[in-house]
Structure 1
Amino acid sequence: MNTSSIIQNIPCTLVTGFLGSGKTTVINQLLSNKPTNERWALLINEFGRIGIDGALLASSQTAGDTHNNIAIREVSGGCICCTSQLPLQIAISRLLSEHRPQRLIIEPTGLAHPRELLRQLSEPHWQTALSMQAVITVLSGVQWQQEKYRSHDGFQAHVRDADVLVINRYEQLSATYRQDLQQWIAALNKQAKIIWAMADSQTAPDFQTTSDSKITADSSDFIQLSNTYLSELTAQLTKPSNAISKQRIANMTESRVSLTPANSLMSSASINTNNDIETSSSTSELPYRYHDEQQGMLLAGWRLPPHWVFNANDLQQWLLQLPNWQRIKGIVNTSDGWLQLNFTPDSLTINETSAQIDSRLEIILLAGSDNKSDNKFDNKNEAVTTVKRTKVELNNEHQSSIEWERCDRELMALVIPSNNQT
């Protein structure tokens, strides 16, 4: 792939809100202020299978003659916040690759739990492609007035994970009720910025301001307030998301494990530093390990300090003995120097490489068997044989219950004690 074709740092805004909160109206307001020369993309997730929101947005934008520069894709029939993450990944990847937008807006179903979606969008594989902006959450004042909504965990969840709360349908609330609403929000998320929405001037009813003065839809005050609101709302498209940043830290905390070389002789005094190696603040977050399961595959990866030197032969043997491995990739500091590993069931490739800011390993295992790997090699360069197994045999076996903690211990045992390093 050419460098020019790589998609990076596309501004992305998540617009959330409980079912019926008015997300489509807010998105239409954002789209109506889109610069005519920019390409935008909109990903809509509906829990039902028909898909209506996309058609509504498309028709409304056609009237404004901006629809030609807006690509709309729908994911219907379920929540994109599902555990597999695949519907979300596929939909975003296709939108970015096929339309190459300059901005992406995601509208999840109102039944989605925003925390899970934030967790997915905080994963490392999206941190390069997407630049996550403020999470905009729409809250209906009419819904909030009802106890069944105020006390509903799903309703509250959208408030907890918002950077910005756009409150609409509040026109009939008195000043006292509006203060109560703000206090309720503060109890759940005191960092959230509150924006009081203004309805379309053609449909907006008369309403009272907090000072009990009346503003009508055809007054100059209403027009000024409406313009101010739209300006403030649009500005959120370029403000970084604190919610996403917090979730990235939470992801690291949940995934980071206590990895320590088996030999305690590894000391700071014996660290072999190289002034030519680029330094990074990320090294303070090491060691780091994650594991996951997707579509019948078990995934795990490690990022480790660059001064941890692994025994090259022992590391390769350990990797090849992992159960049912399908892919192994890595750049690791070893006794043979920095090595680049690229293993598939059909070939083993090992190349020397330059020193890196950290060591990295990633493995993909086939779930469904507790036996050792079917891939057997007599040395690091040549495959001897591959025992093929039928799908029936794999389906009849129990799902693999690999012990990741044991893998951690075995991997750490391969670190060469510092006093033996040369």
Structure 2
Amino acid sequence: MTISSMIQNVPCTLVTGFLGAGKTTLINQLLSTKTIGARWALLINEFGRIGIDGALLTQDNSDQQDIAISEVSGGCICCTSQLPLQIALSRLLSEHRPQRLIIEPTGLAHPRELLRQLSEPHWQTALNMQAVIAVLSAVQWQNPKYRDHEGFQAHICAADVIVINRYKQLSATCQQEMQAWITELNPQAQLIWAQLPEASETALLKSITDKLTRQLNTSSQILSQQTGSLSHSRIRLQPPMQLLTPKTSAISTDIVQDETLPYRYHDSQQGIFQQNMTVGGWRLPAEWVFDADALQQWLLALPEWQRIKGVVNTSDGWLQLNFTPDSLSTATTSAQVDSRLEIILLSKKGSDTSVEKTTNDKNQPQESQENRAIWDDELMALIL
């Protein structure tokens, strides 16, 4: 039997949503529905260079040996070239041969481009695309900066199902206005109201989980409309020859996997909302123990932060950190091979509070480097 004959009609679910909407929490909920022995695979795209979402996922699922995770780090798989997507998908499918695949693109991605790629003929036989699920943070929606932005709206327009998260903080009137806004953008989308996680309300959690499970086996109408104009020719997926080698123990495409610890990086570029964006992260030895309270206070005091994620060895044990401006989540987890932190900071161009000061362009590189050195020193001071 050839590799290509094994890779056919794998049910695939795309979980999208703007940065910090709650995609990782929802995927954990989906993983909880996996039956023992079923082989699932996750393809996670992270904007930064350090893979963290893989550690935030599957921690509460006892059948982890049948969940393969591949992390494509260091940019968006749908923005530049299809090569990272081709390699990651081919490797997952050929090595793990999953019975179900879930793809989580970065919250800064444009889902329409990814849907276009997955509609190409060479994926039509390999993947059986199910309903596209978008997670919408109701708290983010309240801010006009988000709801009026095309990148935020794109996730709503490209979804079969919209999971509305953190809606209980909105008044009944605001909830009605949000529903009307969704309907105007995407009248065909099915809505699921879900305060994630809803562990304290068992009956409601079961209802939400049942609805999500049904979407794992419901064909995507969005994709069927998109592929309607494509050629009906279908070819089987044949992985690149270099991927047909014997299976290795690691299938992650994390580009910093082989860096010597401790490792730090920072990137600066133009981001969303016409703002400069700083993406930075650290991978640190597992034996370094951080003061849990001081670490969280330091992270939350960083200027103009948009997202903070981490898995860190602390005085309170190994902790998962998952922070957005409207949601601060911490949880204990099992020991990891190293500690990882990643932050995304946004700043208005020319603002006095800008991390990457732009009021004097010729001084910007020097000031940026000074900020990074300060962060390093402050972080190292938190080690016990």
Q: TM-score scaled by structure 1?
A: 0.53
Q: Tell me the distance in 2 between the aligned counterparts of 1:45 and 1:3.
A: 25
**Which of the residues 91, 103, 121 maps onto 2:100?**
103
Residue 205 of structure 2 corresponds to 226
> What secondary structure does 1:171 align onto?
helix
CA, structure 1 residues 103+153, in 2 after alignment: closer, same or farther (shift >3 Å)?
same
Please give the per-residue CA displacement for 1:205-245, whole angstroms capped at 9, x wherever unaligned.
xxxxxxxxxxxx4xxxx322221111001110000001111
Q: Tell me the distance in 2 between the aligned counterparts of 1:67 and 1:185.
A: 36
Q: Tell me the distance in 2 between the aligned counterparts of 1:160 and 1:251.
A: 20
Q: Tell me the distance in 1 between the aligned counterparts of 2:114 and 2:3.
A: 29
**Superposed displacement of residue 51, structure 1:** 1.2
Residue 20 of structure 1 corresponds to 20
Summarize the alignment of residues 330-349 of structure 1 with structure 2, pairs less than 5 Å apart: none
Summarize the alignment of residues 302-317 of structure 1 with structure 2, pairs less than 5 Å apart: none
**Native 8 Å contact 1:119 1:251 kept in 2:** no
Please give the per-residue CA displacement for 1:343-375, whole angstroms capped at 9, x wherever unaligned.
xxxxxxxxxxxxxxxxxxxxxxxxxxxxxxxxx
**Superposed displacement of residue 66, structure 1:** 1.8
Residue 131 of structure 1 corresponds to 128
**Superposed displacement of residue 41, structure 1:** 0.1
> What secondary structure does 1:95 align onto?
helix
Q: Tell me the distance in 2 between the aligned counterparts of 1:79 and 1:90.
A: 14
Gaps of 5+ in 1: 203-216, 253-281, 284-422
Q: Tell me the distance in 2 between the aligned counterparts of 1:5 and 1:192.
A: 34
Instruction: Check if 1:122 corresponds to 2:116.
Output: no
Residue 68 of structure 1 corresponds to 65
Summarize the alignment of residues 260-299 of structure 1 with structure 2, pairs less than 5 Å apart: none
Instruction: Check if 1:192 corresponds to 2:189.
Output: yes
**Superposed displacement of residue 138, structure 1:** 0.3
Q: Tell me the distance in 2 between the aligned counterparts of 1:152 and 1:250.
A: 29
Instruction: Check if 1:140 corresponds to 2:137.
Output: yes
Summarize the alignment of residues 131-210 of structure 1 with structure 2, pairs less than 5 Å apart: 131-202=128-199
> What secondary structure does 1:138 align onto?
strand
Aligned residues: 233
Q: Tell me the distance in 2 between the aligned counterparts of 1:250 and 1:177.
A: 38
CA, structure 1 residues 80+229, in 2 after alignment: closer, same or farther (shift >3 Å)?
same
**Which of the residues 77, 92, 109 maps onto 1:80?**
77
Instruction: Check if 1:242 corresponds to 2:221.
Output: yes
**Superposed displacement of residue 63, structure 1:** 3.5
Residue 374 of structure 2 corresponds to none
Q: Tell me the distance in 2 between the aligned counterparts of 1:26 and 1:63.
A: 13
Residue 33 of structure 2 corresponds to 33
**Superposed displacement of residue 5, structure 1:** 4.5
Report the residue type matching 1:15 in the other structure: V
Q: Tell me the distance in 1 between the aligned counterparts of 2:194 and 2:128.
A: 25
Report the residue type matching 1:241 in the other structure: S
**Superposed displacement of residue 146, structure 1:** 0.5
**Native 8 Å contact 1:198 1:225 kept in 2:** no
**Native 8 Å contact 2:168 2:195 kept in 1:** no
**Native 8 Å contact 2:37 2:63 kept in 1:** no
**Superposed displacement of residue 36, structure 1:** 1.1
**Native 8 Å contact 2:50 2:73 kept in 1:** yes
Q: Tell me the distance in 1 between the aligned counterparts of 2:39 and 2:227.
A: 28
User: Relative CO higher for 1 or 2, CA cutoff 8 Å, sep ≥ 6?
Assistant: 2
> What secondary structure does 2:68 align onto?
strand
> What secondary structure does 2:216 align onto?
helix
Residue 48 of structure 1 corresponds to 48
Once superposed, what is the RMSD of the aligned Cα atoms?
1.7
State percent identity of aligned pairs. Answer: 68
Q: TM-score scaled by structure 2?
A: 0.59
**Superposed displacement of residue 249, structure 1:** 2.5
Gaps of 5+ in 2: 234-384
**Superposed displacement of residue 175, structure 1:** 1.4
Report the residue type matching 2:206 in the other structure: N
